[in-house]
Amino acid sequence: MGPLQIKEILQTSPENQSVTVKGWVRTKRESKNAIFIALNDGSTIHNIQAVAEPGQFSAELLSTVTTGSCLKITGQLVESQGSGQLVEVKIEDILVYGTADPETFPLQPKKHSLEFLREIAHLRPRTNTFSAILRIRHALAFAVHQYFNDGGFFYLHTPVITASDAEGAGEMFRVTTLDLNKLPRTEEGAINFKEDFFGREANLTVSGQLEGELGAMALSKIYTFGPTFRAENSNTTRHLAEFWMIEPEMAFFELEDNMDLAEDFVKKVITYALINCKDDLNFLQNRLAEEEKNKPQNERSIPLLEKLSFVVDNPFERLTYTEAIEILLKSKPHKEKKFQYPVGWGIDLSSEHERYLVEKHFKKPVILTNYPKEIKSFYMKLDEDGKTVRAMDVLFPGIGEIIGGSQREEDYEKLLGRVKEVGIDPENLWWYLETRKFGTAPHSGFGLGFERLVLFVTGMSNIRDVIPFPRYPKSAEF
Q: If binding is defined by CB under 8 A, does position 271 make contact with a copy of itself? A: no
Cα radius of gyration (the chain): 27
Binding to a copy of itself in span 211-240, by CB under 8 A:
211, 214-215, 217-221, 226-227, 229, 231, 233
Residue 347's φ and ψ, nearest 5 degrees, are: -75, 155
Q: What are phi and psi of 225, to 5 degrees?
A: -155, 95
Q: Any contact of residue 41 with a copy of itself (CB under 8 A)?
A: yes
> Residue 251 or residue 324: which is nearer to a copy of itself going by CB?
251
390-424 core/surface letters (b: 16 or more CB in 10 A; e: else): bbbbbbbbebbbbbbbbbbbbeeeebbebbeeeeb
- For residues 105 and 339, which CB has a smaller minimum distance to a copy of itself in the complex? 105
**Cβ count near 308 (within 10 Å):** 21
Least spacing, CB of residue 305 vs a copy of itself, in Å: 22
> Rounded CA gap, 273 and 435, in Å?
37
Of 19, 45, 250, 366, which lies in the binding site for a copy of itself, with binding defined by CB under 8 A? 250
User: Is 105 an interacting residue with respect to a copy of itself (CB under 8 A)?
Assistant: yes
Between 245 and 343, name the residue whose CB sits nearer to a copy of itself. Answer: 245
Chain centroid to CA 478: 19
What are the residues whose beta carbons fall under 8 Å from the beta carbon of 348, sequence distance 6 or more?
Answer: 375
Residue 68: helix, strand or coil by DSSP?
Answer: coil
The binder of a copy of itself chosen from 165, 169, 170, 171 (CB under 8 A):
171
Residues between 70 and 99 that touch a copy of itself (CB under 8 A): 70, 72, 97-99
Among 159, 141, 154, 461, residue whose Cα is nearest residue 284? 461
183 is an interface residue for a copy of itself by CB under 8 A: yes
User: What is the distance between the alpha carbons of residues 354 and 366, in angstroms, rounded to a whole number?
Assistant: 9
Count CB atoms within 10 A of the CB of residue 32.
5
**Could you say which residues in the range 383-422 bind a copy of itself, by CB under 8 A?**
410
Indicate whether 469 belongs to the interface with a copy of itself (CB under 8 A): yes
CA distances from 309 to 139, 274, 302, 364 (A): 17, 8, 11, 11
Please, which residue, 220 or 301, has the CB nearer to a copy of itself?
Answer: 220
CA distance 222 to 445: 9
Q: Which of 32, 110, 182, 200 binds a copy of itself (CB under 8 A)?
A: 200
What's at 392, amino acid-wise?
Answer: M
Q: How many other CB atoms are found less than 10 A from the CB of residue 381?
A: 22
- Taking the complex as a whole, how short is the minimal distance between the CB of residue 437 and a copy of itself, in angstroms? 8
Say if CB 26 and CB 44 are below 8 A apart. no
Of 320-328, 338-346, 358-366, 440-448, the window that binds a copy of itself (rule: CB under 8 A) is: 440-448
Residues of this chain, 307-336, that bind a copy of itself according to CB under 8 A: none
Give Cβ neighbours of residue 46 (< 8 Å, ≥ 6 apart).
6, 7, 10, 40, 85, 279
Residue 197 lies near a copy of itself (rule: CB under 8 A): yes
How many other C-beta atoms are found inside a 10 Å radius of the C-beta of residue 197?
A: 12
Q: Which residue among 34, 114, 141, 274 contacts a copy of itself (CB under 8 A)?
A: 141
Binding flags for a copy of itself, 346-375, as an x/- string (CB under 8 A): ------------------------------
The yes or no reply on residue 145 touching a copy of itself (CB under 8 A) is yes
| 53 is an interface residue for a copy of itself by CB under 8 A | no
256 binds a copy of itself (CB under 8 A): no
Pick 365 or 470: Cβ nearer a copy of itself: 470
Site string for a copy of itself, 12-31 (x = CB under 8 A): ----------xxxx------
Given candidates 316, 378, 396, 432, which one binds a copy of itself under the rule CB under 8 A? 432
61 forms part of the interface with a copy of itself (CB under 8 A): no
Stretch that binds a copy of itself, among 143-151, 338-346, 369-377, 378-386 (CB under 8 A): 143-151
Nearer to a copy of itself, 221 or 390 (CB): 221
